[in-house]
Structure 1
Amino acid sequence: MGWIRNTVDSVKSRRFRPLPQLVNLVSFLSSVIILSEGLACLAGADSPGSLLGVAISESMEPGIKRGDLMFLNISKDPIHAGEIILFNVDGLDVPISHRVITVHGHRNTGKVYILTRGDSNHLDDRILYARGQRWLLRHHVIARVVGLLPYVGWIKLILTENPIIKYIVLGTLALLIATSKN
């Protein structure tokens, strides 16, 4: 019983130092953001973040969950049914990542027609496409999803959906840098 008392006394005697823990958290968050954007720039991506994406909805569950970080491959290789692609739709600001369910090639024109659907959706994505559009064309495809890192995208998702948190993190980081002694 004496060792419990000694352990409790030892824990009580330690000072809780929130500042170093806060510095570590802010450093981690800023490192993740800087690393992801820096990698995209170094890889020669058209825009920062185009080699990494974050799942923003539950439409691809259970395989890809909201907040998962997606690694993307920009390639001109042919698209095949079963692949998960990131694509733009005319009139929408946010790209969508869904699975290719059908690919048709037109013999005369060489055009490729693609139909997609989210894994947890019951219907295909035609309701998401631009008015009157029944298929995606190759120019709509941005990249393929080639890997996942579960939960890591939540950092970017939270900072994107709540810009005030981004400013608080950046302000705290600036304050910590300005007041640090080293």
Structure 2
Amino acid sequence: MRVSKIFLQIIQLALIAASALMVWNTLKVITRTDSPIVVVLSGSMEPGFYRGDLLFLYENDDDIEVGDVVVYNATEREIAIVHRVLDIIPANDSTFSLSYQSKLEWNNDFTENFYLTKGDNNRYFDQPLYGDKDLLSRDDIKGRIRGYFPYVGYITILLNEKPWVKYILFAIMGLAALAGNED
């Protein structure tokens, strides 16, 4: 009897994990982005968004506009960045003067727009965050912010910055599972 009860609990845990994965993948399909939910990790977007805010992303085919808050990842870093689009460099605009550009002689013979971003609370543009790029392309932008829950993401920050909290939570869950097994 005891083995069947343990087996049933394992199946229940597997179903919970599968359900969470299905919800995440459904959100990815609905929002059309690989990361439908992100957590603000720094104060660079204050006072619009604060550290720990949980942001909901959505991606569509509409043009990105100046003022949109986007999530991008222009380098191989794992962490996506949430900042505001401050300028758009139009495709094939040979008259555009990129006054804050530092790395290249500007010659726009491309067929797509490029974007320049900055955190609302930052002093400088994001160009150093772009890695070996001078500007963001549309492919670098993972989505636009469509809503948020204030401070809900602090749970994620706490679990990442203080790993011992994870172990305490796992221990509590394990003790609860053991206590639930007793007949």
| Matched residue, 1:111 | 112
Report SS of the residue matched to 1:128: helix
1:44-94 deviation per Cα after TM superposition (whole angstroms, max 9, x unaligned): 459x98111100000000110000111111323211110000000214221
Among candidates 39, 58, 72, match of residue 23 of structure 2:
39
**Normalising by the residue count of structure 2, what TM-score does the alignment of the two structures yield?**
0.71
Among candidates 62, 70, 80, match of residue 55 of structure 2:
70
Structure 1 pair 102–161 and aligned structure 2 pair: CA distance change class (3 A): same
Unaligned runs of 5+ in 2: 1-16, 93-108
Question: How far apart in 2 are the matches of 1:34 and 1:158?
Answer: 24
Identity over the aligned pairs, expressed in percent?
31
Structure 1 pair 44–118 and aligned structure 2 pair: CA distance change class (3 A): closer
**Normalising by the residue count of structure 1, what TM-score does the alignment of the two structures yield?**
0.71
Runs (4+) of structure 1 exceeding 3 A deviation are 33-39
Question: 1:159-170 alignment to 2 at 5 Å?
Answer: 159-170=159-170
Kindly state the Cα deviation for residue 163 of structure 1 after the two structures are TM-superposed: 2.6
The answer to which of 166-175 and 59-68 deviates more is: 166-175
- Larger CA Rg, structure 1 vs 2: 1
Q: Whose RCO is larger (CA < 8 A, sep 6+)?
A: 2
Question: How far apart in 1 are the matches of 2:51 and 2:21?
Answer: 20
Kindly state the Cα deviation for residue 171 of structure 1 after the two structures are TM-superposed: 2.6
Structure 1 pair 161–37 and aligned structure 2 pair: CA distance change class (3 A): farther
Structure 1 pair 60–34 and aligned structure 2 pair: CA distance change class (3 A): farther
Question: How far apart in 2 are the matches of 1:82 and 1:76?
Answer: 17
Question: How far apart in 2 are the matches of 1:86 and 1:156?
Answer: 18
Report SS of the residue matched to 1:101: strand
| Matched residue, 1:60 | 45
Question: How far apart in 1 are the matches of 2:37 and 2:177?
Answer: 28
Kindly state the Cα deviation for residue 123 of structure 1 after the two structures are TM-superposed: 1.1
Question: How far apart in 1 are the matches of 2:165 and 2:65?
Answer: 40
Report SS of the residue matched to 1:66: coil
